[in-house]
Amino acid sequence: MKTLDDKTIAAIRSHVESKKVTLGDGTVVPQLGQGTWFMGENPRVKEQEIQALQLGIELGMTLIDTAEMYGEGGAELLVGEAIKGLRDNVFLVSKVYPHNSGLSSIAHACEQSLQHLGTDRLDLYLLHWRGGIPLEETINGMEQLKKEGKILRWGVSNLDTADMEELVSAPQGKNCVTNQVLYHLGSRGIEFDLLPWQREQNMPIMAYCPLAQGGTLRKQIMTNSTINEIAKAHHVKPLQIALAWALRTNDVIAIPKAVQQEHVIENATAASIQLTQVDLDKLDQVFPKPRKKTHLDIV
């Protein structure tokens, strides 16, 4: 296992910490966090996963995204172990299944998540995707959890523009602080309308799959000659360029998931990459912006 010296850790962390995003309610959070999908499912890699999250925290990636769905509580339990003694250093995000997002079920689901995570509050609770329960009912449930101090704020995930418009026009719907959606260099559909609409609302996007695990074009991102050239010029790897691209503005949070230590370090290091306008223009040519409305990418 590679060990980083204190000076290197401090240097990487200072770049990560320099990148912040302001949520819809004014809360400032790290722009670069960590995902946890598929963690907590295999006991043989449990220690490696815990160490990866802890290294990520040490490197400044203190926003951690999880969900009751991941490993059916397994990922939350793992995160709970990883953040033991570190709770106050972390901005903790979890998600409720749509079928648990009704008034009678959300309190229980949240309580379960809190127990798994070994904490008394979530910093952010998201509706994982829209299901059959009316958005108004979920909003009421979220607001009730806020009143009880179980969650500090709430948001949604996988909602496209029409759903978001409906959400914010419901009573207290404007209290939604973010929408977590699939977004990466190869999946830019949200730039057509959802991203500009959220910008108007001062509601940042939380980009999942920023390393293109889902959506399209991961292979192209890794093999494309332009991105390889840009990576070479910055002395980094193509996926680090993809991550730096996701971080190019100050209103998109990115939550890459990494278990391999090398990946955690590469991801944190992406915060120090300064893409030039020329780099961005070249990337636009190879991975163009959308010219028309497309369905929201999901995994």
Q: Give min distance, CB of 263 to ligand NDP, in A.
A: 3
Place of tokens 């991550």: 243
Show the site string, 233-252: x = touches ligand NDP by CB under 6 A, - = not: ------x-------------
- Residues 141 and 125: beta-carbon distance below 8 Å: no
Of 30-38, 96-104, 245-253, 274-282: span binding ligand NDP (CB under 6 A): 30-38
Distance CA 205, CA 133 (A): 23
- Could you say whether residue 158 binds ligand NDP (CB under 6 A)? yes
* Partners of residue 74 on adjacent β-strands: none
Q: In this chain, which of 60, 71, 155, 256 binds ligand NDP, going by CB under 6 A? A: 256
Of the pair 119, 269, the CB lying nearest ligand NDP is at: 269
Show the site string, 60-79: x = touches ligand NDP by CB under 6 A, - = not: -----x--------------
Q: Give min distance, CB of 95 to ligand NDP, in A.
A: 6
- Could you say whether residue 259 binds ligand NDP (CB under 6 A)? yes
Q: In this chain, which of 58, 123, 266, 297 binds ligand NDP, going by CB under 6 A? A: 266
Of 101-109, 165-173, 186-194, 261-269: span binding ligand NDP (CB under 6 A): 261-269
Q: Residue 280: left (phi > 0), alpha (psi -120 to 50), or beta?
A: alpha
SS3 70: helix
- Could you say whether residue 186 binds ligand NDP (CB under 6 A)? no
- The contacts of residue 141 (CB under 8 Å, 6+ apart) are 101, 102, 103, 106, 107
Distance CA 83, CA 92 (A): 10
Of 80-88, 107-115, 185-193, 260-268: span binding ligand NDP (CB under 6 A): 260-268
Of 21-29, 35-43, 196-204, 277-285: span binding ligand NDP (CB under 6 A): 35-43
Look up residue 38 and give its DSSP letter: T
Look up residue 287 and give its DSSP letter: S
Distance CA 20, CA 203 (A): 14
Total of residues contacting ligand NDP (CB under 6 A): 26
- Could you say whether residue 217 binds ligand NDP (CB under 6 A)? no
Distance CA 255, CA 63 (A): 8
Three-point CA angle 293, 245, 277, nearest 5° = 95
Of 21-29, 136-144, 189-197, 204-212: span binding ligand NDP (CB under 6 A): 204-212
Beta strands 28-30 and 20-22 are antiparallel
Of the pair 167, 171, the CB lying nearest ligand NDP is at: 167
Q: In what order do the strands lie in the sheet with 205-208?
A: 63-65, 91-96, 124-127, 154-157, 176-182, 205-208, 252-254
Interaction site with ligand NDP (CB under 6 A): 35-37, 65, 128, 157-158, 180, 208-214, 239, 255-260, 263, 266-267, 299
